Amino acid sequence: MSSTGRDRRVVERAWRAFVDGRIPNEVRPEVVGSWRRSSTIPLGIDHAPEADDAPSRWLASPVSRAFQSIESELTGVALEGDFVAAVTDADGTIVWTTAGRAMRRRAERVHFAPGGRWGEEAVGTNALGLALRSDEACTVWSAEHYAPIVHDWVCYSAPIHDPVTRRTCGVIDLSTTWHQAHPLALTTVKSLARLLDHALTGMGSNGAEHSSAPIDLRTLGRSELLLDGRVRSLPPRQMELLTVLSLHPEGLTLEQLHDRLHGDRRVRPSTTKAEISHLRQVLGDRVASRPYRLAGAVTADHHRVLDALARHDLPAAVAAYAGPLLPTSESPSIEEHRHLIDATLRRSVLASNDVGLVARLAGAMPFDGELHEFIVHRLPASDPRHALASSRLDALRRGV
């Protein structure tokens, strides 16, 4: 559901219908189920209840120490995008927050702050509670929240996991107002949760860190795996599998992984299972199972672009972009993310009216006529970038 006024009104009407005792059809089943579980909570609640000792207990935990590896990045996202960012424990109690100026005031009013209990049983339906309950990344829009105090909010949450039991031990959340909502925020919390999971995995039972060389995927305009400092060339299907797993850090069942790789193509699941086995010959136990996921530190150029876009850092996004995601792949999940990255990046750069950024992006998108037209119309003919863009436009018009 997009953050448009019309969609918001639909959700608000559905929420009022539920309050009046009717079951709305317009709302996701998981949200209606959560509303039912929340129905004993007073609708007049004006702030979250408090658990005073949770933040101090968290500071002594391995999760708190591992969190230091992503704290500055999460803080940067919150301040630059005017989000409130939060981390919870396994019970949904907030143990850490930071926020941009406007969201800080909103968060304080409803006690979206350390010690605030935001599990479903405390304040009703919200993204933090759903992520804890489902062990999946969640978005909750406007009146999908049970409590009216956050009906103007959109919240994005992703679970973090105990490295030994794989049980959910908390969530990372980004929340903002309806009008500032952006779907890339969900990608950001998933990415940061994945990094935190990796940091936890890299700690021993006593909380001490041990090193593990990261997997670095280079998928934009190319297809390379950098492992232990060396470039490794993998068959296309194995690179697709690695890339899909990197896009779903929460993990996938064999059926889910097979569907994202092959879609409606008539390929047997046993083929996907065989590819996983081949990949394990290269990566060993870094390809974990139940669910299938990448263990240990993982970096990727597509994540760098998406994270920079979520931070509204267009120069960093353009610098990280080297071309379309695995350009020859027909995997449904990769095609979807290829379009997401390209469309979001070019739209954001064009909207910036920064001709320098547009020219740099045009170098990585040489067949995009709109980028070249933008450059031609805004630069003098004496500028070499004008000549290059004009030549590319001529070539496109001739079909060269």
For every residue of 80-111, DSSP letters joined together read HHT-EEEEE-TTSBEEEEEE-HHHHHHHHHTT
The per-residue pLDDT for range 306-328, each reduced to its tens digit, is 988 988 899 999 999 999 999 99
Amino acid at 364: A
Q: Are 293 and 249 in contact (CB under 8 A)?
A: yes
Residue 125, H or E segment: none
Provide the b/e sequence for 210-235 (b: ≥16 CB within 10 Å): eeeebbbbbbbeebebebeeeeeebe
Length of the chain, in residues:
400
C-alpha angle 57-58-61 in degrees, rounded to nearest 5 = 100
pTM, two decimal places: 0.57
Supply the pLDDT for residue 58.
Answer: 84
Q: Which of 303, 67, 107 is nearest to 207 (CA)?
A: 67
Q: Are 108 and 121 in contact (CB under 8 A)?
A: no
Q: Give the whole-angstrom CA distance, residue 223 versus residue 219.
A: 5
Could you please report the per-residue DSSP string of 48-65? --B-TTHHHHHHTSHHHH
List, for the chain, all residue ranges whose pLDDT scores fall below the cut of 70. Answer: 1-6, 202-213, 229, 400
Supply the pLDDT for residue 141.
Answer: 92
Provide the b/e sequence for 264-291 (b: ≥16 CB within 10 Å): eeeeeeeebeebbeebeeebeebbbeeb
Q: 288: helix, coil or strand?
A: strand
Supply the pLDDT for residue 212.
Answer: 54
3-state secondary structure 203-251: ECCCCCECCCCCEEEECECCCEEEECCEEECCCHHHHHHHHHHHHCCCC
Going by their DSSP bridges, the two strands 94-99 and 84-88 should be labelled as: antiparallel
Q: Are 160 and 283 in contact (CB under 8 A)?
A: no
Supply the pLDDT for residue 3.
Answer: 47
